[in-house]
Amino acid sequence: MRFDVLTLFPEIFSGYLTQSLLKLAIDRGLTSVHLHNIRDWAEGKHKQVDDKPFGGGPGMLLMAGPVVEAVEAVQAAADAPPGRLLLMSPQGRRLDQSLAEELSTSNRLVLLCGRYEGFDQRVVDLLRPEEISIGDYVLNGGEVAAMTIIDSVVRLVPGVLGDETSNQEDSFSRAGRTLEYAQYTRPREYRGLSVPDVLLSGNHPEIAAWREADAARRTAARLRAMDSGLQDSAGEPRPKPEA
């Protein structure tokens, strides 16, 4: 699977791409991420990419010319199909696990990141991208959203996780859509909190039953919390704030 990212700040991606799972997936040839600086398609000695909105208003807009020409050049790269063009936008379709799964079946994604106050409308009118948001809050630019998309999609690419069961165990992928059960590693006791005995028992049917019950308990607690707003993420009552 191939990702192409168009951005004014390609350096933002370098740490993320050279660590951990992404690095492994790239080193194994399971995925590739190609960064493109939109400014390379800007004209003139100032390489201008943004300008003030006609009609007035705050901030600067990315100009249509450099963006449209950058996307067209990248999508036309001879050695790959044009792929799916995704524009990072707080107004877009919300990313969720089912969209990540759908995107992971594509062999090429082209991710367009904006900055400032957005794009000249002709970028959207000419390129007809799919607009995608990662949630209801405003980011300073699309780069973090693009990394989020890459991160959620690449782990669904066959072979990337090594252990394919890991995907299906994730709470958003499991059929029942319960939260995950609690997990523990060494030490067996930490600050007075002990690992439940059943997990040390070696009795796998009992362990499976405990995990199923724990996941159900957490899910029920989370649903109550969403109704009341009174509980913390473990579903435990939140301590009363100090008066």
Binding residues vs ligand 6GU (CB under 6 A): 88-90, 132-135, 137-139, 141-142, 145
What's the min distance (Å) between Cβ of 100 and ligand 6GU?
14
What's the min distance (Å) between Cβ of 90 and ligand 6GU?
4
Residue 21 DSSP SS3: helix
What's the min distance (Å) between Cβ of 28 and ligand 6GU?
28
Q: Which is nearer to ligand 6GU, 132 or 154 (CB)?
A: 132
Catalytic residue among 40, 101, 117, 130: 117
Distance of CA 162 to the CA centre of its chain: 20
d(C-alpha 181, C-alpha 208), whole Å: 10
H/E stretch holding 37 reads strand 32-37
Q: Which is nearer to ligand 6GU, 36 or 115 (CB)?
A: 115
H/E stretch holding 61 reads strand 61-62
As beta bridge partners, residue 206 has none
As beta bridge partners, residue 87 has 112, 131
Do residues 51 and 22 make contact, with C-beta atoms less than 8 angstroms apart? no
Residue 108 DSSP SS3: strand
Does the active-site annotation cover 155?
yes
Q: Which is nearer to ligand 6GU, 140 or 228 (CB)?
A: 140
Catalytic residue among 2, 90, 130, 180: 90
What's the min distance (Å) between Cβ of 2 and ligand 6GU?
20
Catalytic residue among 170, 206, 232, 236: 170
Nearest to 146 by CA among 40, 1, 16, 29: 16
Catalytic residue among 39, 84, 155, 174: 155
d(C-alpha 38, C-alpha 120), whole Å: 14
Does the active-site annotation cover 90?
yes
Q: Which is nearer to ligand 6GU, 24 or 139 (CB)?
A: 139
Q: Would you please indicate which residues are annotated as catalytic (active-site) residues?
A: 90, 117, 155, 170
